[in-house]
Structure 1
Amino acid sequence: MSLDSTHRGIPASAAPPDAHADRLKFNGDNSFHRELRRRVDAEFKRSGTRQRDSAQMYLKTAIILGVFALAYVALVFLAGTWWQGLLLGLVLGIAMAAIGFNIMHDGGHQAYSERRWVNRLMALALDLVGGSSYIWQWKHARFHHTWVNVAGHDSDIDLGVLGRLSPQQPRRPWHRWQHLYLWPLYGVTAIRWHLYGDFRDMATGTVGERPFDRPKGWDLAGFVLGKLVFFTLAFGLPLFFHAFGTVLLFYALVSAVAGVLLALVFQMAHVVEEAAFPLPDESGRQMETPWAIHQLQTTVDFARGNRVLGWLIGGLNFQVEHHLFPRISHVHYPLVARVVEDTCREFGVTYREHRTFGAGIASHYRLLRRLGKSAAASVPALAPA
Structure 2
Amino acid sequence: MSLDSSHRGDSSADSLSVDVHAERLTFNGDNSFHRELRRRVDAEFKRGGTRQRDSAQMYLKTAAILAMFALAYVALVFFAVTWWQALPLALVLGTATAGIGFNIMHDGGHQAYSERRWVNRLMALALDLVGGSSYIWQWKHARFHHTWVNVAGHDSDIDLGVLGRLSPQQPRRPWHRWQHLYLWPLYGVTAIRWHFYGDFRDMITGTVGERPFKRPKGWDLAGFVIGKLVFFTLAFGLPLIFHPVGAVLLFYSLVSAVAGILLALVFQMAHVVEEAAFPIPDEAGQRIDVPWAIHQLETTVDFARGNRVLSWLIGGLNFQVEHHLFPRISHVHYPLVARVVEATCREYGVTYREHRTFGAGIASHYRLLRRLGRPVATTGTAPVALLPESLLHS
Q: TM-score, normalised by structure 1?
A: 0.96
Instruction: List per-residue Cα deviations over 1:100-135 (Å, max 9, x = no partner).
Output: 000000000000000000000000000000000000
1:302-381 paired onto structure 2 within 5 Å:
302-374=303-375, 376-379=376-379
Q: Summarize deviations over 1:135-161 as a string: whole Å, max 9, x none.
A: 000000000000000000000000000
Question: 2:286: which partner in 1?
Answer: 285
Q: CA deviation at 1:380?
A: 7.0
Q: Which residues in structure 2 correspond to 1:1-385 (within 5 Å)?
A: 10-11=7-8, 13-14=10-11, 17-374=18-375, 376-379=376-379, 382-383=382-383
Q: How far is 1:11 from its partner?
A: 2.9
Count of aligned positions: 378
Q: Retained in 2: the 8 A contact 1:304–1:317?
A: yes
Q: Name the amino acid aligned to 2:171.
A: P
Q: Secondary structure, in 3 states, of the residue corresponding to 1:184?
A: helix
Residue 10 of structure 1 deviates from its aligned partner by: 2.0
Rounded to whole Å, the distance in 1 between the matches of 2:20 and 2:356 is 41
Give the Cα separation in 2 of the matches to 1:47 and 1:363.
37
Per-residue deviation, 1:40 = 0.1
With over 3 angstroms needed to count, the CA separation of the structure-2 counterparts of 1:351 and 1:127, relative to structure 1, is: same
Cα pair distance change 1:255/1:75, threshold 3 Å: same
Q: Distance in 2 between matches of 1:382 and 1:19?
A: 32
* Matched letter for residue 244 of structure 1: V
Q: Is the Cα–Cα contact under 8 Å of residues 279 and 381 in structure 1 kept in the other structure? A: no
Q: CA deviation at 1:8?
A: 11
CA shift for structure 1 position 381: 9.6
Distance 2:273 2:250 in 1: 33
1:378 shift after superposition: 2.8
Q: 3-state SS of the aligned residue for 1:377? A: coil
Tell me the C-alpha RMSD between the 2 structures.
Answer: 1.5
How has the CA–CA distance of structure 1 residues 340 and 163 changed in structure 2, closer, same or farther, with 3 Å as cutoff?
same
C-alpha distance in 1, partners of 2:79/2:276? 46
Contact persistence 1:9–1:27 (CA under 8 A): no
Q: Shift of the alpha carbon at 1:22?
A: 1.1
Q: Distance in 2 between matches of 1:194 and 1:8?
A: 34
> 1:286 & 1:334 partners in 2: Cα distance?
32
Gaps of 5+ in 1: 1-6
Q: Structure 1 pair 134/381, CA: closer, same or farther in 2 (3 Å)?
A: farther
> Counterparts of 1:181 and 1:377 in 2: how far apart (Å)?
18
Say which is worse superposed, 10-19 or 346-355, in terms of deviation. Answer: 10-19
Aligned partner letter, 1:246: A
Deviation at 1:177, TM superposition (A): 0.3
How far does residue 12 in structure 1 lie from its aligned partner after superposition? 6.3
For residues 265-293 of structure 1, give each alpha carbon's deviation from its aligned partner in whole angstroms, at most 9, with x where no partner exists. Answer: 00000000000001001110000000000
Shift in Å, 1:81: 1.6
> 3-state DSSP class of the match of 2:235?
helix
Alpha-carbon distance, 1:17 to partner = 3.7
- Cα separation, 1, equivalents of 2:228 and 2:300: 32
Distance 2:377 2:260 in 1: 30
Deviation sequence 1:232-275 (CA, Å, 0-9, x none): 00000000000000000000000000000000000000000000
Q: Is the 8 A contact 2:18 2:214 kept in 1?
A: no
C-alpha separation in 2, matches of 1:342 and 1:371: 33
Return closer, same or farther for 1:21/1:47 CA change in 2, 3 Å cut-off.
farther
Q: Report the Cα distance in structure 1 between the residues aligned to 2:198 and 2:20, rounded to whole angstroms.
A: 24
Counterpart-to-counterpart distance in 2, 1:64 and 1:309: 14
TM-score by length of 2: 0.94
In the alignment, is the contact (CA less than 8 A) between 1:8 and 1:27 conserved in 2? Answer: no
CA contact (8 A) 2:129 2:230 kept: yes
Task: Determine if contact 1:8/1:25 at 8 Å carries over to the other structure.
Answer: no
User: For 1:237, what is the secondary structure of its paired residue?
Assistant: helix
Task: Name the CA distance, whole Å, in 1 between partners of 2:325 and 2:21.
Answer: 23
> Identity of aligned pairs, percent?
85
8 Å Cα contact 2:275/2:381 also seen in 1:
no
**Aligned residues of 1:107 and 1:113 also touching (Cα < 8 A):** yes
State the Cα distance separating 1:377 from its structure 2 match. Answer: 2.8
CA contact (8 A) 2:6 2:34 kept: no
- 2:388 counterpart residue number: none
- State the shift of 1:80 in Å: 2.0
